[in-house]
Homo-oligomer: A and B are copies of this chain.
Amino acid sequence: MSDSAPDTAAPAAPGDLALPLLGMIAYFQLAAFTRLAADSGLAPTLTQRLSLAGYARNALNRVDRVAGRIVELGGDPQSAMRPFAGVLVEFDERTEPSTWSERLLKSYVGYGVADDFARVLAEGLDPASREVVDEVMSDDGHGATVVAALEAAGADDATLSPRLALWGRRLVGESLGVVQRVLGAHPEVVRLLAGALPGDEPQSRLFARLTAEHTRRMDRLGLAA
């Protein structure tokens, strides 16, 4: 399939960098599928269970869409995904939610950071791959559903907001830790980042951007970031 490996100046530059990024995105979406399906199974109402199941399915559909692009580029989807397998295990172990609200916030914050990370990196891709990433990252309503559910929960419980604000800080810290570990383990992603954010200290600017987006998301919930 792919002896289209070489890099530098010209030929395979976009595809070569696109494959690892698309692999990472596909893996994160597969992880989102697993997580949202698990949340669905624990949902307190049938309505929420069905709703989260639908978002899980959307995530799996995204895996397929990204895998399709990997194939178009001459890659193998599983080979592209495999280097990222397990990258969220530590995150999950360190962020076990103790309530339904904490569980909802975890997916909102965690996937928020993962999606933003992918969006930034995609700025360094060839237009066709970037279009796939933009399409895959488009809002499917999951965020709005979480915001509505947490607002409803907060209306019943005045002590919820400060606790969730604290939990949100914990989650974003751990999420940025995942990004840090990915950058540490994947020089090809660092290279892609340099292309996406040309200039000095792309990593600092990446983290500034991820943090700003997180703050915006917490604002939507009326929570201090």
Contact = CB atoms under 8 A, between A and B. Distances in A.
Interface of A: 30, 33-34, 37-38, 40-41, 46-47, 49-50, 53-54, 56-57, 60-61, 63, 78, 81-82, 85
Given A38-B38, A38-B41, A30 B49 contact: yes
Contacts of A63: 50, 53
Nearest to A42: B34
A54 B46 contact: no
Contact of A50 (B30, B38, B40, B57): B30
Q: Which of A37, A40, A63 has the most CB of B within 10 A?
A: A37
Contacts of A56: 37, 56, 60
Dominant secondary structure at the A interface: helix
For the complex formed by this chain, how many copies does it contain in all? 2
11 contacts: A30-B49, A30-B50, A33-B40, A34-B40, A37-B41, A38-B38, A53-B60, A53-B63, A54-B60, A56-B56, A57-B60
A21 to B, nearest CB: 18
A78 B47 contact: yes
Contacts of A82: 46
A25 to B, nearest CB: 15
Given A54-B60, A57-B57, A57-B60, A81 B46 contact: yes
Q: Which of A30, A50, A78 has the most CB of B within 10 A?
A: A50
Given A30-B53, A34-B41, A47-B78, 15 more contacts: A30-B49, A30-B50, A33-B40, A34-B53, A37-B37, A37-B38, A37-B41, A46-B78, A46-B81, A46-B82, A50-B63, A53-B63, A56-B60, A57-B57, A57-B61
Contacts of A40: 33-34, 37
